[in-house]
Amino acid sequence: MTPHQRPTQSGSNPAVSSVHAVSFATLLNPLWIARRLWRYRELIVQLTTREITQRYRGAYLGFLWPFLTPLCMLLIYTFVFSIVFRASWGQRNESQDLIQFAFTIFAGLIPFTIFSEVMSGAPRLILAVPNYVKKVVFPLEIFPVIILGAALFHSFLSIGILLLGVLIWQQSLSPMLVLLPLAYLPLMLWVLGLGWFLASLGVYVRDIQQSMTLLVQILFFMSPIFYPVSAVPEPFRFILYLNPLTTILDGFRRILLWQQPLSWPLWAMWSAIGLAVAVLGFVWFIKTKDGFADVI
**209 dihedral zone (left: phi>0; alpha: psi -120 to 50; beta):** alpha
Residue 33: CB atoms within 10 Å:
20
pLDDT higher than threshold 80 for residue 132: yes
In this prediction, residue 27 carries a pLDDT of 87
Q: What is the dihedral of CA 136, 141, 147, 148, to 10 degrees?
A: -160
pLDDT higher than threshold 50 for residue 12: no
* Closest C-alpha to 13, from 141, 142, 146, 139: 139
* Closest C-alpha to 151, from 198, 179, 115: 115
Confidence category of residue 5, pLDDT binned at 50, 70, 90? very low
Q: Which pTM was predicted?
A: 0.88
Q: What is the dihedral of CA 68, 74, 80, 81, to 10 degrees?
A: 170
In this prediction, residue 74 carries a pLDDT of 74
Spatial separation of the C-alpha atoms in residues 287 and 155, rounded to whole Å: 31
pLDDT in tens, 179-226: 999 999 999 999 999 999 999 999 999 889 889 999 999 999 999 998
The larger pLDDT score, comparing residue 87 to residue 40, is at 40
* Closest C-alpha to 111, from 13, 253, 286, 4: 253
For the residues of 97-142, what is the DSSP string, one character each? HHHHHHHHHHHHHHHHHHHHHHHHHGGGTTTT-HHHHHTS---GGG
